[in-house]
Structure 1
C-alpha cells in the first residue's frame, strides 16, 4: 500500500515536513535557485562588545527584595490582579534605586518564571512595570 496521497492531521500528506525560515531540501528548490552562487555575509556592525563587559547584574534578591517578593506572592495568591497588589508593586518601584534591575530580579525569582502563561505573577509584574513606566513618562 502506498502512503503517497494519504493525509494525516490537518490535511497534510505524510511526506510533508515543517521547514522553518523557508528552508527546504535541495530537491525542493527551483533549478534556477540551485545554480546561483551563495554569498557570504560579513558582520558590518561597529559594535565591539567592550562596553557590554562592564554590565553585570546579580539576579539574586537581597533581604528586602526577598521579603517584598514573599509579601507580593501572598497578596497575589489571595487577591490576584487587584488595586492593593498593583499599589504595593508601584510603591516598591517608586522606592527603588534601579527599578529595571529590581524587576529583573523579581521576575527571575518567581516560581512561575519559566511558565509562559498570561495569568502568572511574573507576567503581572512585567505588565505593571510597563504601566508604571508609562505613568512616570520614562521609556
Structure 2
C-alpha cells in the first residue's frame, strides 16, 4: 500500500544540495526530490529522458540548443542524449522523474555524483 508523501516537505528537509532522494517507485521509474543551489555539471543521459518539476524557486537548465528557465510549477523534460547543466542561483526544490537505469550525472563522475543507493530516501 502506498503512503502519502509531501514532495515539497521532503525536499525542504534535505540537508545536502544536489543529492536527490527517491520518494516513490513507479513501474520502471523513480520519483525523486532534490534541493539545488549552484551548478551541477554538464552531462548527458544517453538512453533516458529526465523530467523536472519545480516545487519551489527557479532553475536554469543550460542545454546545447539554448537555456531553459523554469519557475515554481513549471515542468520540463530533457530528452535523452541532450547535454545539459542545471543551475540554481538561489535555493530551488525539484521533483524528478527518471527511469531506474538513469545515472545521476550520466557517465560523468564528479564529487556531486550520487549512486542509486545514496539516493534511496531515509
Band the TM-score falls in, shorter-chain normalisation: under 0.3
**More strand, by proportion:** 2
Higher relative contact order (CA 8 A, sep 6+): 2
Q: TM-score, structure 2 length as denominator? A: 0.26
